[in-house]
Structure 1
Amino acid sequence: MADTKQSERHAERKAAKLAKEIGSFSRAHGGAEGQLAYLGQAGTRIVLVGEDGGWGDLVAPTHAIAAAAAEQAGLTLHEAFDGELAAKVRTGPYEWTRMAGIQVGGPAGG
């Protein structure tokens, strides 16, 4: 029973920390929307897209923690990373060079 309460407190602290990071991203980018992507045993990725086209991500150890963090931060979530959400993302030279490097043997480490 004590382990369960300790585990719940840990999950609450982790969700609160992630919510704070989401809020910081949102303030820096004029607002934000997101999507939760299951990563298997690694957890769940919280993909963030700012109103200015900036993007980033965070990884939560579980889907429940990711969902709690998004809710605490007031993040609007999309079911999938496509359509309207994907169209908001703005990439720069770094991303294009890195993507090209991965595909055609160019600079891969960025």
Structure 2
Amino acid sequence: MADTTTQAEETAPAAAPADRKALRLARQITAFAKSHGGTAEGQLAHIARGSTRIALVGANGEWGVLVAPSMETARKAAEVAGLTLHDDFDGEFAAKVRTGPYEWTRMAGLQLGGPANN
């Protein structure tokens, strides 16, 4: 069987697990942007045990969340994906989020006939 590895593959160091995770997150960010108007903006926030939340808002107002194992990995993923980052999730950035009936009933709980907020 012929050897199909190239010289570059043989001499290139293996990607660190954090780099692979950052690239995987970058692909997810890019896919989110593509399916929600072509662009997305985001905000990074520390959550429990060193993890970082990547909040995404698409050009059409749809939103989503990804979780990175560290702030460094989240920043690298955002950089690779070309994600515009905001310091805070407030003001003009928060106003871009489009919420629907599901979110309103979840937030209001029993007042709007949704589930109780226990």
TM-score (normalised: structure 2): 0.80
- Deviation string, structure 1 residues 19-38 (Cα, Å, up to 9, x no partner): 00000000011110000011
Larger radius of gyration, structure 1 or 2? 2
User: Which of 24, 28, 33 is the matching residue for 2:31?
Assistant: 24
**Structure 1 stretches of at least 4 aligned residues deviating more than 6 Å after TM superposition:** 102-105
Residue 102 of structure 1 deviates from its aligned partner by 7.7
Q: Which runs of 5+ in 2 are unaligned?
A: 1-12
Aligned residues: 104
Percent identity of the aligned residues? Answer: 62
Give matches, 1:1-110, under 5 Å. 9-30=16-37, 31-41=39-49, 43-101=51-109, 106-108=114-116
CA RMSD of aligned residues (A): 2.4
Determine the C-alpha separation between the residues in 2 that align with 1:9 and 1:85.
33
Q: Which runs of 5+ in 1 are unaligned?
A: none
More helix by share: 1
